[in-house]
Structure 1
């Protein structure tokens, strides 16, 4: 009898350890004063934008003419709700950035309500941003406002932006990458999410901080990085946990904390920036 009891305890202990090993790992932040999360990818595994994208459009080319035309169209949006929305889209700090796609997903995305999804967005942002750096550093393309001398929607950022290459767009790599991730998590909202991802990239044109080709190539780099992330077990684990969180949030009836009607009205005000 005693041997059976010991065997039963050993079996129970084994099962508990197995269950613990399958559990989602705890939320651990990177050590440091900014509290940022580390990305999922090791530095050597981050896709290279310098390898992926062609050189930026040459002066006098048809592609550069299109870049300049779209930049000029954005001037008409200055001080409109669309301009203000573009300024809001420029802010990739958390918790603000977690709500960028909340209206498209039709669910609140917060650290308290959806912590795994919140972490997924933070950690993937690190990888998506890193993926654009090699081409940015190599080409050091001047941003539109540096060429046309027109205002931008976040003037407080102008000095830092001028030091950072325009091509390809890091913001749009993040925005489009997030759109693809969220469309996978919430396929029933895929159309709305992908449209928001496109509009997010256009916000960089509206702000006069990125050329059209910067935005388009940022989208390509973002998509490639998301594809690479799907080979990372930690990313897949957070993806699965985030899917469950979204389902639970919908059952609770959690709604976006953003004014979705105002956002939709602002995004409807646009020149012909769509591709």
Structure 2
């Protein structure tokens, strides 16, 4: 669902490949700013039965010829009409979940820069919950094996280099959406004063998958449901709760430091203002 990951150093590759199998082209989180050999490979907080069972939680995707399938197709037509626009460029940027850059996807909505140096607990929280939310979509993706929109309508995507890989990854539910919605919920809890902006960002992060022509609307809806299910399970994990509290403190410190955000937040806001009328 996004750009191909850079090669991982040492053992991190095998760990993350398994954790992110649900979102087949979601790039593994990689911090290339220092020697990864000195650090353990990142893992999710959730293991085994603690990961939501997406097959049990996900009804079948819309049947061909149904009213729900017609809605998917209508929204896909609206979304592909945005090709070449600023919204299409933003959707392409949203597709990239590689760390460290992926940690900044919600920085504008949060109002602070997120990096491993100034906000290490928050960085870790986002990195590990990404793995959990992605893993939470695996069973349903593998079970339904739904073709992606570009495979059906023949229109381009915003990440053409990924298309061969995406053909082998089920469309339903959307892994990127599950990750983005989980992040929106987590960050809204940490920074409730920014909740509206963060939840709006979580919604339009999922809509970027429509604009990219790699997911149907029903994929995105179910991705949100699984993102929420993941966060519900995370609250029963002691490591997550500890990092959540530490991240809340880091945000307060970062706001006081007023560090610059390495993103063009005005351009991002303008691009995201171009919405999909029926995708609400």
Which bin holds the TM-score, normalised by the shorter protein?
0.7 to 0.9
Question: 2:150, 2:156 within 8 Å by CA — same for their partners in 1?
Answer: yes
Q: State yes or no: 1:122 paired with 2:127.
A: yes
CA separation in 2, counterparts of 1:270 and 1:244?
34
**Pairs within 5 Å for 1:1-275:** 31-32=11-12, 36-275=41-280
Q: CA deviation at 1:212?
A: 0.1
CA separation in 1, counterparts of 2:232 and 2:264?
32
Question: 2:178, 2:223 within 8 Å by CA — same for their partners in 1?
Answer: yes
Q: Which residue number corresponds to residue 17 of structure 2?
A: none
CA separation in 2, counterparts of 1:50 and 1:71?
24
CA separation in 2, counterparts of 1:32 and 1:147?
35
Of Structure 1 and Structure 2, the greater helix share is in 1
How far does the alpha carbon of each residue in 1:107-166 deviate from its partner, in whole angstroms, 9 at most, with x for none? 011111101100100000111000000000000000000000000000011011110000
Q: Would you identify which runs of 4 or more consecutive aligned residues in structure 1 move more than 4 Å?
A: 33-36
Q: CA deviation at 1:74?
A: 1.1
Compare 29-38 and 61-70 and name the one that shifted more. Answer: 29-38
Q: CA RMSD in A?
A: 1.4
Question: 1:204, 1:210 within 8 Å by CA — same for their partners in 2?
Answer: yes
CA separation in 2, counterparts of 1:228 and 1:210?
25
Question: 2:174, 2:215 within 8 Å by CA — same for their partners in 1?
Answer: yes
CA separation in 2, counterparts of 1:185 and 1:255?
20
Q: CA deviation at 1:236?
A: 0.3
CA separation in 1, counterparts of 2:229 and 2:247?
21
Q: CA deviation at 1:43?
A: 2.2
Mind listing any 5+ residue stretches in structure 1 that lack a counterpart?
A: 1-28
**Which structure: larger Rg?**
1
How far does the alpha carbon of each residue in 1:63-112 deviate from its partner, in whole angstroms, 9 at most, with x for none? 00000000000122101110000000001101111111100011011111
Q: CA deviation at 1:273?
A: 4.2
Q: Which residue number corresponds to residue 20 of structure 2?
A: none
TM-score, normalising length: structure 1: 0.87
Q: CA deviation at 1:271?
A: 3.0
Mind listing any 5+ residue stretches in structure 2 that lack a counterpart?
A: 1-8, 14-29, 31-35
The size of the alignment, in residue pairs, is 247
> Secondary structure of the equivalent of 2:152?
helix
TM-score, normalising length: structure 2: 0.86
Question: 2:134, 2:179 within 8 Å by CA — same for their partners in 1?
Answer: yes
